[in-house]
Structure 1
Amino acid sequence: MNSLKALTVIFMFFFSLVTFSSGDLIVDVCRTSSNFKVCVNTLRADPKSPSADKKSLVRILLQQCLAKTKSIYNEVANLLEQAKEHVLIQCLQICKENYDLAIDDATTAIKDFDANDFFGAKISASAVITGPDTCEESFTEPPIRTSPIKSKSEDLMNFVDLTLSLVNQFSN
């Protein structure tokens, strides 16, 4: 009877040392992100996620930052080709240049992350936000124009913020 009590106490002790885990790494990783739902949906949509470890999941998010940035860059390039108004052309040119720089920053963030330079990855990923931010700012200067990509720029900035919240876990 005493051995049963001892086993119970030992079991309870070890059980109390185990950190809570849902058994779903995607949920566990995204729980600490700035946007749980977007994080989970993005990772579940990637076919590499089910077999990925925590670092690989964050890398997938960094790759999505790059893909989203390239997509917006391409949209800006198309809009620029169609634009007729001088002010709109100027704003879109600023956007194109800044999204081009953001693509470089996102690419560098992935390279740094792969090299375990988490501080560098954090700096480069943070710099991605400058692209859409500067782009949108150009539309607020007189004469004010409505940005045709405002919602996509805002979505990208929020997505980069989400990704940074997870990259930061590696740099501490």
Structure 2
Amino acid sequence: MTLSHSSAPFLIVSLLLISVTLTSVKADLIDDICSKTQKNDVCLSVLREDPRSKDSNLKDLMTIAIDLSQKNTQYVRNLVAMLFNKETNSTLKTRYSLCWENYNDAIANLGYLPDLLKSKDYEVLNTHASAALSDPSKCDANFSEPPVEPIQLKVANENLRELIDIILVINKLLKG
């Protein structure tokens, strides 16, 4: 089959349109995910700033969200340990100890997610992600009465909830 000179521009334009469409699909995937989260702007920032998200599909983005959530959970648990070690008030020490347990639970629940993603067990993945989502709130609830929760812990708990929300949204999309 030979191409005439008149069909060559058509072929080039068609290939360019396909290329542009494929590029916009990747951006639209992150936009679609983030539009379904509680904090669209945070989601967009988190997913777009991660270099692994370039040319990623849903499973790749889920892997990124799980990884970031696991790292963030470790960070907050270390923050809780630091606050506990510096604290002299027995009431606050008890609350930090409870938060430590909450974060151990979150770490355990998030630890199941990579294998559940690989096996496509989205129902059980949802169960563990939802359980992990409740752990920062349980930590916050320990501070329902004075003395108040330190702002850095409150912010860290909110950040983790936002990351896990991304996992839950992607999981829902993967389930179809």
TM-score range, shorter chain: 0.7 to 0.9
Deviations 1:105-141 (A, max 9, x none): 1111222112211111111111112211111111114
Say whether residues 1:73 and 2:74 are aligned partners.
no
Say whether residues 1:30 and 2:31 are aligned partners.
yes
Matched residue, 1:131 = 135
Matched residue, 1:97 = 101
Q: d(CA) in 1 for partners of 2:46 and 2:172?
A: 19
Q: Which runs of 5+ in 2 are unaligned?
A: 1-20
Other structure's SS at 1:41 match? helix
Other structure's SS at 2:136 match? helix
Residues 7-156 of structure 1 aligned to structure 2 (within 5 Å): 23-32=24-33, 33-34=36-37, 35-141=39-145, 144-148=146-150, 149-156=153-160
Q: d(CA) in 2 for partners of 1:27 and 1:60?
A: 17
Paired amino acid for 2:118:
D
Aligned-residue CA RMSD (Å): 2.1
CA positional deviation for 1:42: 1.2
Tell me, yes or no, if the aligned pair for 2:43 and 2:162 is still in contact at 8 Å: no
Other structure's SS at 1:23 match? helix
Q: d(CA) in 2 for partners of 1:54 and 1:84?
A: 46
Query: In the comparison of the two structures, how many residue pairs are matched?
Result: 152
Paired amino acid for 1:101:
D
TM-score with structure 1 setting the length: 0.79
Could you list the runs of 4 or more consecutive aligned residues of structure 1 that deviate by over 4 angstroms after TM superposition?
A: none
Higher relative contact order (CA 8 A, sep 6+): 2
Q: Which runs of 5+ in 1 are unaligned?
A: 1-19
CA positional deviation for 1:23: 1.2
Say whether residues 1:162 and 2:166 are aligned partners.
yes
Tell me, yes or no, if the aligned pair for 2:73 and 2:160 is still in contact at 8 Å: yes
Q: d(CA) in 2 for partners of 1:27 and 1:121?
A: 24
Tell me, yes or no, if the aligned pair for 2:109 and 2:129 is still in contact at 8 Å: yes
Paired amino acid for 1:119:
E
Q: d(CA) in 2 for partners of 1:69 and 1:23?
A: 32
CA positional deviation for 1:26: 4.0
Paired amino acid for 2:148:
T
Tell me, yes or no, if the aligned pair for 1:113 and 1:120 is still in contact at 8 Å: no
